[in-house]
Amino acid sequence: MSCSEPIEQQSGPLVSVIVPCYNSERTIRRCLTSITNQQTSVSFDVTVVDSSSDQTPRIVEREFPSVRLIHHETRTFAGAARNSGVRATRAPYCLMIDSDCVAQADLIERMITRHRETHYAAVGGSLANGTPRSLSGLVSYLAEFKEFIPAAPKRLVTSVPTANVAYRRETLERFGCFDESVSMAEDLLLHWRMHSAGERIVFDPTIKVTHLNRTGWREVLSYQVRLGMASATARRLGGLPGAFLVNHPVLIVGLPFARTARAARWLARYDLKKFLLFLLIWPLYLLAMSFWSFGFFKGASGSNRSVAD
């Protein structure tokens, strides 16, 4: 299903905040409280698209009456949930925040200020570590978001995490929104289509959320397998950089070391404190990258559908 149906222009909020949810009862309160308490002059509405089997929809209904809840009875993956939110809203800007993120108080204000300075297809923000006392959480955080930490520089990028991003609705719809045929990597595919067409995506580290990371080694390592599978799927389906690894899987054996070295170089350049910490935990990071690479190998071998959590 596409979200590119014609939308009639009408007065209303400038920003539609869309939060995809699945079994988010542990984090949804903090997420929605941070959104509904935004300090901004920008008008906005909030829509939660949920397919949970836990208490998430009841928490939203009872504690956040100003938030619109769209509940799907069957499991809906993040891309399809975001598309559902886009179709149900009308604001010129669609701001996506994941249910395990806590937004800083001026996030919406900063997002729109950045969008207004020039024509960006998307503006993405940084993610701070929300599990600083968890070693597994730290490894999970760095593995997924090292290039989008608050200390990273503002820059044009080919992709940003959909945990903290605002799109121009017109551009989002023109590119068909998120691919619903995959359960993960739909953001990589969308952003690569935008980038390949000459659209600009900017990363601004001052636009910040705190990410409540996965913790527990079994959960973290199994998720790395799924992320690796998703990365390979995106490269097979969308022609992203690195597609040669899909065609030459023998090279995948070197990925854990290459990705660990890349993380070390990035942190050494932009965040000395995290780099020094990385020097202590790099064997665990290498372990996580080994699981990621195993998932990449599985995805390169032909599975075009990864299993999301």
Q: Which of 135, 109, 91 is CA-nearest to residue 40? A: 109
Q: What is the pLDDT of residue 303?
A: 53
Q: What is the pLDDT of residue 191?
A: 97
With beta carbons less than 8 A apart as the criterion, state whether 166 and 203 touch: no
In order, the DSSP letters of 16-68 are: EEEEEESS-TTTHHHHHHHHHT---SS-EEEEEEE--SSSHHHHHHHH-TTSE
Q: What's the rounded Cα separation, in Å, for the pair 280 and 7? A: 52
Q: Dihedral of the CA atoms 297, 101, 178, 247 (nearest 10)?
A: -10
Q: What's the rounded Cα separation, in Å, for the pair 22 and 43? A: 27
Residue pLDDT, tens place only, 231-253: 998 888 877 888 788 888 888 99
Q: What is the pLDDT of residue 287?
A: 98
Q: What's the rounded Cα separation, in Å, for the pair 48 and 16? A: 11
154 DSSP 8-state letter:
P
Helix, strand, coil shares, percent, the chain, to 5: 50, 15, 35
Backbone angles phi, psi at 307, to 5 degrees: -100, 115
A 10 A CB-CB count for 155 gives: 11
Tell me the one-letter amino acid at 279: L
Q: What is the pLDDT of residue 248?
A: 83
With beta carbons less than 8 A apart as the criterion, state whether 149 and 102 touch: no
Q: What's the rounded Cα separation, in Å, for the pair 84 and 90? A: 12
Inter-CA distances, 186 with 6, 87, 249, 305, Å: 22, 17, 23, 11
Q: How many residues does the chain have?
A: 309
**Residues of the chain whose pLDDT is less than 50?**
1-2, 4-9, 304-307, 309
Q: What is the pLDDT of residue 297?
A: 94
Please give the helix or strand (H or E) that residue 85 lies within, else none. Answer: helix 78-87
Q: What's the rounded Cα separation, in Å, for the pair 168 and 192? A: 16
In order, the DSSP letters of 230-247 are: HHHHHHHHH--TTHHHHH
